[in-house]
Amino acid sequence: MKKSLSVILITIFLDAVGIGLIMPILPELLRSLAGAEAGGVHYGALLAVYALMQFIFAPILGALSDRFGRRPVLIISIAGATADYLLMAAAPSLLWLYIGRIFAGITGANMAVATAYVSDITPAHERAKRFGLLGAVFGIGFIAGPVIGGVLGEWNLHAPFFAAAFMNGINLIMTAVLLKESKHSNKMTEKVQEQSILKKLSYLITQPNMAPLLGIFLIITLVSQVPATLWVIYGQDRYGWSIFIAGVSLASYGICHSIAQAFAIAPMVKRFGEKNTLLCGIACDAIGLLLLSIAVEEWVPFALLPLFALGGVAVPALQAMMSRGISDERQGELQGLLSSFNSLGAIIGPVLVTSLYFMTQASAPGMVWALAAILYVITLPLLLKYRLNKYSGVP
């Protein structure tokens, strides 16, 4: 079990390094291809296209991982990411960037399948801690990636994409050689595969507490699209960040996020429970967003990073709450549908966020951040509906 977990953690680490490598330079690359404002719009559109493919295919991949195993689906996902980075590295036009993002979205299921894998090998009472560990390792990878990407991007805008492809190539070889399967087919799993995505979603919603928890997850996903889409663009526009400083800011967030995921979640869940840990995470993130919306000094975003990192404890706690209410045979299905919810937010979010930002940039540049914080208010009545529940054994 320990060896399998180690391989999964290394896989997630290398995946995060690859993602982090390209984040500081992608907005600048798009500006060079499409112009300043159009580049920002295309940035949001690229994120949305990827998310749309994820929304369609992530539940299928999650269900396939229940039927055929986590390992083959994870290998396909990593191979797709490698091909995407190579396409983006050599892309002569915007069209090729979109083709790469579409392909990556179709095959991308790293985090969903990794989370399902961890669910397979972890007792229910330890899942919040293990999910937090996944987040911590992702954050550690996200520390190195943006810094390396910032340095390489100052030299050549295409270099980070080649580096990301190289990282994913190593990831692909390691997963294919070292990772053992955690999931084996059974009759219940085969029955699940025969159901449509809508039937699967309908089943999950009818489980105790699942509907309000899915609502909270969707809201958190929508809010998370604001920093995911705007952090680099806003930093460069508002504070004059260079590519290198943008990379340093992302790496700094990775450090804070990893510390919070590794050392805060387990004691918080033990002391306050998963529900209160979720509430604390939402509150920290909302306060950070409000403060950033009015910040005019360059150092303020860096000062707020610990607060945003504490906000990150919300998702592992929420995942553990949902995972407890679902049978072991449906864990991959759950994670695939959560990935689809994540993608649904990522379809709507980037285009909406970039459009709203460029509409209000001159008069109220921080408005988008404030609106994101206000959106969290909707989670309160949903959280009040939650009552502790454990899967009863009825499929």
Exposed / middle / buried, residue 352 (Cβ in 10 Å: 0-12, 13-18, 19+): middle
Helices 127-155 and 110-121: angle between axes, nearest 10 degrees: 150
Report the distance separating Cα 104 and Cα 101, nearest Å.
5
Cβ-contact 37, 361 below 8 angstroms = no
Q: Answer left, alpha or beta for residue 207, where phi above 0 means left and psi between -120 and 50 means alpha.
A: beta
Closest C-alpha among 135, 142, 183 to residue 318: 135
Go through the domains of the chain in sequence order and give each one's CATH number.
Answer: 2-180+197-384 (1.20.1250.20)
**SS3 at position 179:** coil
Report the distance separating Cα 115 and Cα 120, nearest Å.
9
**SS3 at position 11:** helix
Cβ-contact 78, 15 below 8 angstroms = yes
pLDDT tens digits for range 235-291? 988 999 888 898 888 888 888 888 888 888 889 998 998 889 999 999 999 999 999
Report the distance separating Cα 11 and Cα 78, nearest Å.
9
| Tokens, residue 363 | 């008069």
Cβ-contact 98, 49 below 8 angstroms = yes
**SS3 at position 156:** coil
Which DSSP category does 297 fall into? S
Report the distance separating Cα 200 and Cα 330, nearest Å.
9
Q: 369 Cβ partners below 8 Å, 6+ apart?
A: 226, 230, 289, 290, 292, 293
How far apart, in Å, do the first and last CA atoms of the chain sit?
A: 27
Report the distance separating Cα 350 and Cα 229, nearest Å.
6
**SS3 at position 326:** coil
Would you give per-residue pLDDT tens digits along the chain (395 residues)?
A: 577 788 888 888 887 787 777 777 777 778 777 766 666 678 778 878 877 887 777 777 777 787 788 888 888 888 888 888 888 888 778 888 888 888 877 777 677 788 888 888 888 778 878 888 887 888 788 778 888 888 888 888 888 888 888 888 988 898 888 888 876 554 444 444 444 556 666 677 777 778 888 889 989 999 998 998 889 889 988 999 888 898 888 888 888 888 888 888 889 998 998 889 999 999 999 999 999 999 999 899 999 999 999 999 999 899 888 887 777 777 777 777 787 777 777 778 887 888 899 889 888 999 999 999 999 999 888 888 776 544 444 33
Q: Answer left, alpha or beta for residue 108, where phi above 0 means left and psi between -120 and 50 means alpha.
A: beta
pTM: 0.68
**SS3 at position 108:** coil
| Tokens, residue 347 | 């379809």
Give the start-end residues of each E strand in 246-339.
none
Report the distance separating Cα 122 and Cα 5, nearest Å.
10
Which amino acid, one-letter code, is at 221? T
pLDDT tens digits for range 137-184? 887 887 788 888 888 888 888 888 888 888 889 888 988 888 888 765
- If you search the block for the tokens 């190195």, which residue do you land on? 144
Report the distance separating Cα 77 and Cα 328, nearest Å.
23
| Tokens, residue 146 | 């943006």
Say how many C-beta atoms besides its own lie within 10 A of residue 307's C-beta.
Answer: 19
Closest C-alpha among 258, 62, 91 to residue 158: 91
Report the distance separating Cα 357 and Cα 366, nearest Å.
8
Cα 352 from chain centroid (whole Å) = 18
Report the distance separating Cα 392 and Cα 154, nearest Å.
55
